[in-house]
Amino acid sequence: MLHLGLIIIGDLKSLIRLATNYLKIKMIKYALFFIVFIFSHSYGQNHYPIKPNNSEIGKQLYEANCSACHGINLAGANNWKEGVDSDGQRLAPPLNGTGHTWHHSDKLLQGIIKNGLGFYVKDYKGKMNGFSHVLNDEQIDLVLAYVKSYWKKDAYEYQTKLENK
């Protein structure tokens, strides 16, 4: 009988240990979920202005998603101000600081990249569609930081003031 009692106590200890480990894992999962949830919701609200950064990741994201229209060197299409493409659509402007990109806030620029110009311009028929299906907010910020690394200091300072209005 004593032997049976020791087996039951041993099994009970194993069961308690398994339950404790299970609860620890659950608590860690919930804690991680909470941290990610809080970060994802606070990130979207408090990350402007985006600072210039010529990072390799930003460059790769730009080259993969933007350079086909805006050019590998961010110079935009030739004759972008007056020209149209074969479909009759406006040509892509430069993003290197020689165009008008720096006249817009980071919030608006991120929104245009995320949602497309049609989200902001009624009856827009251009080719600047949103990239929310490809890029998340953090990746869009990396692209914007890369783009801003091409701007002159006064353009960046002007644009930063837009964030504080």
78-107 residue pLDDT tens:
999 988 888 888 899 999 999 999 999 999
Look at residue 90 and give its three-state secondary structure.
Answer: strand
Residue 89 gets the label, from left (phi > 0), alpha (psi -120 to 50) or beta, of beta
Residue with token string 């701007």: 151
Which pLDDT belongs to residue 83? 86
Q: How far is CA 10 from CA 16, 18, 23, in A?
A: 10, 12, 20
Beta-ladder partners of 129: 116
Least confident residue range of 4-8, 105-109, 129-133: 4-8
Percent share of the chain, pLDDT over 70: 70
pLDDT of 84: 87
pLDDT tier at 42 (50, 70, 90 boundaries)? Answer: very low
Q: What is the pTM of this model?
A: 0.70
Instruction: Read off the pLDDT of each residue in 125-137 and give the average, rounded to a whole number.
Output: 91
Q: How far is CA 119 from CA 59, 68, 147, in A?
A: 26, 21, 22
Q: Phi and psi dihedrals of 129, rounded to 5?
A: -90, 165
* Cβ 144 vs Cβ 106: under 8 Å: yes
Fold of the domain spanning 56-163: Cytochrome Bc1 Complex; Chain D, domain 2 (1.10.760)
Closest CA to 159 of 108, 113, 104, 121: 104
